[in-house]
């Protein structure tokens, strides 16, 4: 029998790594065990945060225009969405001793904005001190994917957004950043998701069950 306790699981990785797919699979498997949980995503997760997400997407779909968001404006929008997300969804769920599964969190900001766009790390860390309120993932899964597998998955997507249209070199650099962020951290699990099959699903479920002490 699962003993209720707050627990925060995050999936990170580049586009086409299978984050959304595996987070949904984990949700279904945990619910079968009677776990009360919340599945959410970033940027987004709440009504206001989703509105901010759409604003970010609009800017990136209009690259031909003379004026686009500066990289710091872009970063601030992500952080604004995160503030709403934490305050109105993540923190309340954890306070109710729910398990929260999130598709992307702070590491994506570091991988894309800091390592990718060279936004000052101290700038982000300073804002995070105010908005995270001490909340951090209990487990982070970094899904490592081959360029071939990610390309095939992105090609199959019916609807694409800004994240699906970066160059392969950007994804390679971002993946390297995720792996660097995970280095020597006990609560980080780097898993190969190139196949994204039932074996990976079972492996993720087994790890989470061990932490939650679910038999």
Give residue-wise pLDDT tens across range 179-214.
999 999 999 999 998 886 789 999 999 999 999 999
Check whether 172 has a pLDDT greater than 90: no
Q: How far is 92 from 61, CA to CA, in rounded Å? A: 33
Q: How far is 156 from 208, CA to CA, in rounded Å? A: 29
Backbone φ and ψ of 104, nearest 5°: 85, 145
Q: How far is 68 from 87, CA to CA, in rounded Å? A: 29
What's the pLDDT at 199? 93
What's the pLDDT at 119? 96
Domain count, the chain: 1
Residue 63: pLDDT band with limits 50, 70, 90: low
Is the residue at 1 inside a domain? no
What's the pLDDT at 162? 52
Q: What's the CATH code of the domain at 80?
A: 3.40.50.300
Is the residue at 2 inside a domain? no
Q: How far is 124 from 113, CA to CA, in rounded Å? A: 9
**DSSP code per residue over 13-81:** -STTS-HHHHHHHHHHHHHHTT--EEEEESS-SSHHHHHHHHHHHHHHT-TTSS----HHHHHHHHHHH
What is the residue-averaged pLDDT of the chain?
88
| Angle of CA points 65, 47, 122, to nearest 5° | 65
Share of the chain above pLDDT 90, in %: 67
Question: Quick one: CA dihedral 156, 200, 46, 85, positive or negative?
Answer: negative
Q: For the whole model, what pTM was predicted?
A: 0.89
Is the residue at 50 inside a domain? yes
Q: 111, 42 in Cβ contact below 8 A? A: no
Domain, as residue range, for 81: 7-212
Q: How far is 206 from 143, CA to CA, in rounded Å? A: 16
Is the residue at 104 inside a domain? yes
Share of the chain above pLDDT 70, in %: 84
């Amino acid at each position: 029998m699962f003993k209720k306790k707050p627990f925060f699981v995050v999936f990170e990785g580049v586009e086409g790594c299978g984050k959304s797919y595996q987070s949904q699979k984990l949700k279904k498997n945990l619910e079968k065990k009677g776990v009360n949980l919340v599945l959410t995503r970033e940027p987004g997760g709440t009504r206001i945060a989703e509105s901010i997400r759409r604003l970010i997407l609009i800017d990136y779909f209009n690259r031909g225009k003379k004026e686009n968001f500066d990289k710091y404006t872009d970063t601030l929008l992500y952080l604004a969405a995160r503030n709403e997300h934490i305050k109105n969804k993540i923190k309340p769920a954890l306070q109710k001793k729910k398990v929260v599964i999130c598709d992307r969190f702070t590491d994506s900001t570091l991988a894309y904005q800091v390592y990718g766009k060279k936004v000052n790390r101290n700038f982000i860390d300073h804002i995070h001190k105010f908005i995270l309120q001490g909340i951090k993932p209990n487990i982070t899964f970094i899904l490592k994917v081959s360029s071939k597998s990610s390309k095939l998955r992105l090609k199959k997507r019916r609807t694409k957004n800004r994240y699906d249209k970066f160059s392969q070199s950007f994804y390679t650099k971002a993946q390297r950043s995720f792996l660097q962020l995970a280095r020597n951290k006990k609560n980080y699990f780097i898993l190969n998701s190139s196949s994204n099959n039932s074996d990976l699903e079972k492996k993720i479920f087994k790890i989470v069950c061990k932490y939650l002490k679910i038999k």
